[in-house]
A and B are shown apart, each in its own frame.
Chain A
Amino acid sequence: MEMNANPAIGFVSGGGLEANLQVRLQVPVGEVQEGAFVVTDSEQWRFYGLVTDIQLQALDERYAGEVSAGRYTPALAKLLDKATLFPTLAVMPALMMERGPEPGSPEYAAWREMNPDKTNPMPVKTLPQHHSLVRLADAADISTIFGEEDGKNVFRVGETREQGHAICLRLDKFVQRSAGIFGTTGSGKSFLARMILAGLIHAGQASTLIFDMHNEYGPDTTSSDTGKGVRGLKSGFDSKVRLVGLGAGTSFGARQPDFTLQIAHADITPEDVLQLSQALNLTDNAPVVLSYLERDFPGDWFTKFMAMKVGALVPDEETGKRVPADDSVAKWAQSAGVHEKSAESLRTKLGRIENRGYLVDKPASSGLDDIINNLEAGRHVVLSFGRFDSELDYLLVTNLITRKIRDRWEWRTNEFHKDRLKNPEPRPLVVVVEEAHKLLNREMASQTIFSTIAREMRKYYVTLLIIDQRPSQIYDEVMSQLGTRISGALGDEDDINAVLSGLPGRGSLRGMLAKLQPKEEVLMLGWGVPMPIPLRSRRYDDKFWQDLLGSRTEAPASIADHNSLLGYDE
C-alpha cells in the first residue's frame, strides 16, 4: 500500500473502540475540522477514521485560565503555551485494511505472495498503537474507501471539505436498500436528490418512479436562490424520462406531459380505500363493508357503490311505509347483511374521492399500465400531481400506483426464481417519495404501501428513496430500514436523532450533523457507504450536466431559451 504523503497532524494518545481514539494534535487547531477523514498506519494495518470532536486541553487548568502573554514576556508566554496548552481530536475509527509490511522490505514480498489480491477495508476490530502518526487522508485513501469516479456506477457526490478530494457513492449498492435524503428547507436536498437521480438514470442501475409533488424533478425550473434556470431530468435524458401528468390538462409549466394518468374507478380496490382510513376518517366497520362490496360487485364495486344513493326512500306498496329505495345504500346493506349506517357512512366519505378529475369510468389511455411498462423497460417516470396536490390525492395515487408496482415486481421476481433462464431478472426500481413524512408518519405508515416497501420489497427489487425535511416525523420502523442516508443541515434535535437512529457511533456523529453548513454540506452515512463522511456536495449546475453527459448537453441560458430550442414559445 502506498504511503500517505500528507504530513502528520498528530499522534494517537489514547482511546478505544467504543470511546473513540484520542489524538494529540501537533498542528494549529484551525488546520483540522470536525468531520475530517484521517488515516493512521500501525503495524500491518491502516486505519481510517473520522474526526468527531476537537477539544482544547491544558496540562493544568490554571494554565488555560490565565493569559500567559499578560504575565510573562512574549518569548516565555509562547513557549509556555506550547508546552501546556494543546488541542486533541476525537477520532471515530471506522475501517481498517491490511497494508502488509513496509513496501520494499523482504517481508513485503513474502506477504504480497501470500496476499496476491487487493485487500479490502473491513470494520475496525483493533486499534493503532500509542503514538501512531495521524494524517489527513489523501485522494488515494479516499478512493480506496469510496471508489473512484467512473462516469457510471461510481458516482461523485461531492468533495471532502478540507482538501477537496472526491467522495463517491456506489450506485449499485445505493439502490439495493431504501435510502433517504434529508435536510431543512433550503439546504439543497432537492438539488442533491436531482443530482443522484441523474446519476442513477445515467448509470442505468435502476428505473426510477418519482412522485413529484412540486414539479421540481422532471421539467426545467428556476432556482429560487439565484433566479437561474435549473435543468430537469427530462432535459438531461430526454426519452429516457417520461413525464406523466395526473389527470387531463396537467402540464409541466410550458412543457406538455408525455402522457397523462387517468385512473379507472375499477382500478380502485378496497385495499386502496383502507389505506386512506385516516384521511377519510373511516369507521371500524369500513373493512367489513368493503369486503361485502367486493363480494357482491367483483371488479366493479366502486362504480356500483357510488351509484347507490344515501337515504333514498320510497313508499312500500303494501304498507305505505317509507322504505329504502332499490338503488339506495341501505337496500344493498339490508340484502348483504351489513350495518346500514356503516355502509351509508362509507358511501358518504368516499364521495370525497369520487369526483377527483383523474378518476374516470373509462380512461382515454391506459396510463397506469404505461407507467409500469415504461419502468419495466428501463425508463424513468416523473409523475406530476398538477392541480391535484391535496394530501388525499397524494395518498390515493401514490398508494394505488405503488400497490400495482408491488404486485408486478413480486410476480416478476417469483417468475425469475422459478426459471432463471427463461425469465429475466426484474429491473431494480427506486420509488422516489417527496414530503415522505406525509405518507410515512407514525399514523400513516401502517396504512400505506410504502412502509411495506421499506421493510420487505428489497428482495423484490423495489426500494424507496425518501426525501424529507422532518425525518423525525417518519415512522421509526421505516427509518431503521434505510440503508443509505444523506443529510444536509438539520436544526431540530429530534430530526438529527432520527437520521442517526440505528447507526453505530451516532453519539459522535450527532455534533457533526448539527454543525453542517446550511447549504451544500451533507453527511453521508449508513449501509450504502463504507463509513460516514461529511462532504461538500457537488453543485447541480451546467458543469454537472457536462461532466455527466459530456458535451452533448449544453444548458440553455434560461428556461425561455430552452423552451425556444424545443419549439415551445412562451
Chain B
Amino acid sequence: MPQEAPIVGHLLRASAAGFTVGTRAEALEALNQPLLGCLCQVEAQGQTIYGLIADIRVLDDGLVQQLVAEGRMGSETLADNRYNRNQPVEISVITLGFAQDGRMRPRLPGTPPLALQALRLCTPEEGLRFCEENKFAYLRRILNQTEYPAQEMILAHADQLQSWQPAGNKAGSWYPSLAEALIRVLRNDYERLSLLLDALSALEESWK
C-alpha cells in the first residue's frame, strides 16, 4: 500500500457489503477534495478492501439542537461545535471488491474490515488498476444501490478517474470501458440509461 495515501477516517461499523467510518471535520477540510464517489480502501485480514464513498453525514446531537433552537451561533460557538464536538462526521462506503495475493477481485470480501481500521483514499495508480483489472464489473453494485444516489456516485467516480489523467488530456483510456460496462448493465432500462448517458455526456464535455 502506498504510504502517501491520505487517511479519511476510521471504521465505526462494517459489514461485507459496506462500512461506515467516522472522522473529524478538520480532517475533511484537510483533504481538500470532494469525497462523494471517491475510491477508497481499507486493510482487513490480509486483504485490501476497496469501496466507493457513497454518502457523508453530519449528524446532530442534543447540543446542536439546543444551539439551533436558541439561535446562539457566534463564531466561537460554531468553531467549538465543529472542532471539539464528540459526534464524528460519518462517511458511508459501499464495498466494490478486494485485492488478495496481488489480484483484484470485483466481489464482496469474505470478512469485513474491523473497527477503527483506517480508511484511506486510493492513489491514482491503485485506483486505476482496480478499475481496469476488474473491467468496471463493480459498476453493477453501484447501480443496484437504492439507499444512495447511484447516478451521482457514478458521475463522481468518473470525474475522479478523469482527475487522475494528466492535465489537458481528453477522457482516459478507461472511459470507453466504463461506458461500455454501464451500457451493458443498463441497456434493458432505456430511461435510466438515457438519463445517465445524458449526464455522462455533459461531464465528458466538461473535460474538454
Residue positions of A touching B, CB distance < 8 A: 59-60, 62-63, 71-73, 75-76, 79-80, 83-84
Contacts and interface: CB of A to CB of B under 8 A. Distances in A.
A79 B179 contact: yes
A60 B183 CA distance: 13
A59 B190 CA distance: 9
Interface size class of B (residues with CB under 8 A): 10 to 19
19 contacts: A59-B187, A59-B188, A60-B188, A63-B190, A71-B197, A72-B197, A72-B200, A72-B201, A73-B201, A73-B204, A75-B175, A76-B201, A80-B183, A80-B193, A80-B197, A83-B184, A83-B187, A84-B183, A84-B187
A73 B205 contact: yes
B17 interface: no
A79 B198 contact: no
B183 A75 contact: no
A71 B190 contact: no
B190 A76 contact: no
Interface string B39-68: 000000000000000000000000000000
A235 to B, nearest CB: 65
A75 B204 contact: yes
Contacts of A63: 190
Contact of A76 (B179, B184, B188): B179
Contacts of A71: 194, 197-198, 201
Given A83-B184, A83-B187, A75 B198 contact: no
B171 interface: yes
Contacts of A84: 183, 187
A72 B171 CA distance: 15
Interface in B141-184: 171, 175-176, 179-180, 183-184
A399 B170 CA distance: 83
A63 to B, nearest CB: 7
B190 A79 contact: no
Contacts of B179: 75-76, 79
B180 A79 contact: yes
Contact of A60 (B171, B190, B197, B201): B190
B187 A76 contact: no
Contacts of B183: 79-80, 83-84
B193 to A, nearest CB: 8
Contact of B190 (A62, A72, A73, A75): A62
B198 to A, nearest CB: 7
Contacts of B190: 60, 62-63
Contacts of A62: 190
A79 B187 contact: no
B187 A72 contact: no
A76 B171 contact: no
Nearest to B193: A80
A60 B193 CA distance: 12
A406 to B, nearest CB: 68
A73 B158 CA distance: 15
B208 to A, nearest CB: 10
Given A71-B197, A72-B201, A76-B204, 4 more contacts: A60-B187, A75-B179, A76-B197, A79-B179
Contacts of B171: 75
Nearest to A68: B197
B105 to A, nearest CB: 25
A78 to B, nearest CB: 9
Nearest to B200: A76
Interface centre among B184, B187, B205 (most CB of A within 10 A): B187
A75 to B, nearest CB: 6
Contacts of B194: 71
A63 B183 CA distance: 12
Contacts of B205: 73
B180 A72 contact: no
A75 B200 CA distance: 11
B183 to A, nearest CB: 5
A76 B201 CA distance: 7
Nearest to A59: B187
A75 B204 CA distance: 10
Query: A-B pairs with the 6 shortest C-beta distances?
Result: A72-B201, A83-B183, A73-B201, A60-B190, A73-B204, A62-B190
Nearest to B175: A75
A69 to B, nearest CB: 11
A72 B198 contact: yes
Nearest to A66: B194
Contacts of B184: 83
A79 B186 CA distance: 13
A79 to B, nearest CB: 5
Nearest to B191: A62
Contacts of B197: 71-72, 76, 80
Contacts of B175: 75
Contacts of A83: 180, 183-184, 187
A59 to B, nearest CB: 6
A76 B204 CA distance: 10
Most B Cβ at <10 Å: residue of A59, A71, A73, A83: A73
A62 B192 CA distance: 13
Contacts of A73: 201, 204-205
A71 B205 CA distance: 12
Nearest to B205: A73
Contacts of B188: 59-60
A62 B183 CA distance: 15
A221 B66 CA distance: 112
A63 B193 CA distance: 11
A434 to B, nearest CB: 58
Contacts of A80: 183, 193, 197
A399 B204 CA distance: 81
Contacts of A79: 176, 179-180, 183
Interface string B8-26: 0000000000000000000
